[in-house]
Amino acid sequence: MAVWSDAPANPRIVRVRFDKQGHVEPVVHATVSEITFTSTTYLTFDETGVVTPRWTRNGSVWFDFEFTAGVAGNPLGAVLLDGNSTGGTQLATMDSGYVVSVTNGESIPAGRTDTDGTGFRADVTGLYGGGVLLTDVDCNGGDDLTAVYAIENALTGGTYAEISAPVPCGTRSYGDLDIAASGDFGGVIFVTERLADEIQQVAPDGTHTTWATGFVGIDSLSISPDGNSMYVGDLNGVWLVRAAGNEPGPVVLTHEPNDAGGSHLTGEPTAFFRVIFNEAVSFTDSDVTITNSNGDPVGFDASGSASQFMLIGLAEPLHRDAYTVTIADTVTAIATGEPLDGDNDGFAGGDAVLVFTHRCEADLSEPEGLLDLSDINLFVESFLSGCP
């Protein structure tokens, strides 16, 4: 667990991101503001949980940030935008050495009096000009307008390319946005629209299209790096959304016998295996094959179809051998008909392969790996019982 020991008394997290492209450093980055917006501290978190404060800026600022690839006049590093209008709306850049340069002390689009960003994402497609996409929701007594912009040329003071023209806050209220370069959700901006509780697509010409409805108190949205999964937060929780045809298949949750060593059995032979799925599945014996360590087939009977449990009765109990159980992706979910996700990659399809091994008991771990009388007794018992 990461702990920032010098955190202010009333911290507010502005943004948390992982720099997966390594434009600055491939660790977790965050900006944290004092709740009255008197300062922003930039932090990084490494894989061991070590928290490193990189810089603190005072003067009524709370910086949002996004990593940028050195295109559209933006740096190889990050672009930062101040969300507090007091003291000016600052636009800044940061290089890979965490050096921050304020390039504009009052950065707002032409014709506007203020901006209040809710979503801040780099255009990884280039279809919107390659800048940093901003959903602006200035609905707190400023000019009461909401719009979508792309921030370009941050190195030289910044320009705002208008993607969606400003409209009154009573027409739209954005919660978040994201965009992916490829995959099922690639190539278009997705935004959460809080007035209608829906997800909308925003085309490069600013056209809004309703894409998904039925949320309650919708707010955050994030697309996976491969562009095939979307995560949406509302008052009911976090929803995983996939494109039609990419519904996840059932998966194996666990199996019995099972232990920390990976299904290694000792003691008496076992005549049964049990496989537990995350949802009810349909199967027959033809969906399962079992072989011993020589590759020879092992007879069995599988029961429990239409439940979450597959009970396998073995014609020859497992004893001093290893049985490989292969469950084919012809096993399907009762609810959706999707095939088994046996390789557990998040997509339907792929066989599940389970290995059960029976070994003779040994007492070599206690005391401290030393040979003692218990080991000798177990060896004699195993030898006499035919379990070498």
Token output for 252: 């194996």
What would the pLDDT profile of 367-378 be if each residue is shown by its tens digit? 555 666 666 666
Token pair belonging to 62: 């709370």
> With respect to CATH, is domain 252-358 assigned 2.40.320.10?
no
Residue 356 and residue 259: Cα distance in Å, rounded? 10
CA atoms within 13 A on the CB side of 177: 31
Is the pLDDT at 363 greater than 50? The verdict is no
Task: Fill in the DSSP letter of residue 194.
Answer: T
State yes or no: pLDDT of 385 exceeds 80.
Answer: no
Tens of pLDDT, residues 42-86: 999 998 889 999 999 887 788 999 999 999 999 999 999 998 766
What is Dmax (Cα atoms) for the chain?
92
Residues 249, 351: Cα–Cα separation, whole Å:
11
Domain spans, the chain: 11-172, 252-358
SS3 state at 286: helix
| Rounded-to-integer distance, Cα 314 and Cα 46, Å | 49
Cα(272)–Cα(301) distance, integer angstroms: 10
**Cα gap 55→30, rounded to integer Å:** 11
Q: Taking a C-beta distance cutoff of 8 angstroms, is the pair 246, 341 a contact?
A: no
pLDDT number for residue 371 = 62
The predicted-structure confidence for 293-329, as pLDDT tens digits, reads as follows 999 999 999 999 999 999 999 999 998 899 999 999 9
Dihedral, CA atoms, 6, 12, 14, 17, nearest 10 degrees?
50
Query: What is the CATH architecture assignment of 11-172?
Result: 7 Propeller (2.130)
304: left (phi over 0), alpha (psi -120 to 50) or beta: left
Give the whole-angstrom CA distance, residue 132 versus residue 123.
Answer: 6
Q: Count CB-CB contacts under 10 A for residue 159.
A: 19
